[in-house]
Amino acid sequence: MTASPVANLTIADAMAMRERLRKVSDTPDLDVALLLCECLAKPRSYLYSWPERELDLAQIQRYLSLLARRIDGEPIAHILARRDFWSLPLAVSPATLIPRPDTECLVERALEMLAEQDSPAILDLGTGTGAIALAIGSERADAQVVASDFFPEVVALAEQNRIALAVSNVRVICSNWFSSMKGLRFKLIVSNPPYIDPQDPHLDEGDVRFEPRSALVAGNKGMADLFSIIGEAPNFLLPGGELLLEHGFDQGALVRQALRDRGFVSVASRNDYGGNERISWGTWT
């Protein structure tokens, strides 16, 4: 239920409502700032320059309504229908995974792998919002990137983001992993697939409660999709091509072993910004 409007609410008063978010958010200051910016149509710098400025009634009503949704645990990205990733503003929806900052580590590694490649062909499996494909495509205008997802509504969202960002070297298609890739070969295949164990208790906590299970969980204790991609990827890689995967913090050893067992070489992993093993890769000879 939306809270009753408050008379004479200043920006400073609204920012002070961060205390209501302490139990549901690790970033209450940022959350209230983003909600206020949305209501005022102003940048964050405005909030600190004009703390005494009073909101009008419509702004108060909207702010309290958005704040109530956040207090109920709804993710900021869903409330605002967008999330920045790699400096790109992306539209998001409850049909997709919300892009995480740690996934930028995968983009960083992908760009390193492509540094010596001319006009590389790249595949992003399970693209979701298109975050990874669009980040790579925006950095490498000479690359040709295929971004795929299984669900038509997700494909439509990724295509919406591609058009909005005018990234012309990315093509978004509907595919069940490699099902639509017959005859195609890539220098690099990247993926952030579902990798959470269906029994993981964290699925009932925080933002993930509002995200689709299909984008989060996989069988075999979270490893099923990772194993499937590792098994099929060589059929779609050029000689010397590379497979780069995001995975759970405790799955690095299993992913590296699976890569080696499939015949990949130069297998390695890298930590995310929190110091956890988050991405692994290998080269197909």
40 pLDDT higher than 90? yes
Instruction: Identify the sign of the CA torsion 179, 164, 214, 264.
Output: positive
Map out the domains of the chain with their CATH numbers.
11-73 (1.10.8.10), 93-284 (3.40.50.150)
Identify the band that residue 187 occupies on the pLDDT scale cut at 50, 70 and 90.
Answer: very high
Return the pLDDT at 2: 47
Mean pLDDT of 134-147: 97
4 pLDDT higher than 60? no
pTM of the model: 0.86
Copy the structure tokens of residue 259.
Answer: 């890569």
Return the pLDDT at 159: 98
Binding residues: 126-130, 149, 177, 192-195
**pLDDT tens-digit profile of 228-278?**
999 999 999 999 999 999 999 999 999 999 999 999 999 999 999 989 999
Rounded Cα–Cα distance for residues 79 and 93 (Å)? 9
Binding residues for S-adenosyl-L-methionine: 126-130, 149, 177, 192
Amino acid in the structure at residue 140: R
Rounded Cα–Cα distance for residues 74 and 45 (Å)? 25
Binding residues for substrate: 192-195
**pLDDT tens-digit profile of 68-88?**
999 998 999 999 999 999 989
To the nearest 10 degrees (0 to 180), the angle between helices 152-165 and 131-139 is 30
Rounded Cα–Cα distance for residues 153 and 96 (Å)? 9
Mean pLDDT of 33-37: 95
Rounded Cα–Cα distance for residues 187 and 204 (Å)? 38
Return the pLDDT at 261: 97
Indicate the average pLDDT of the chain: 93
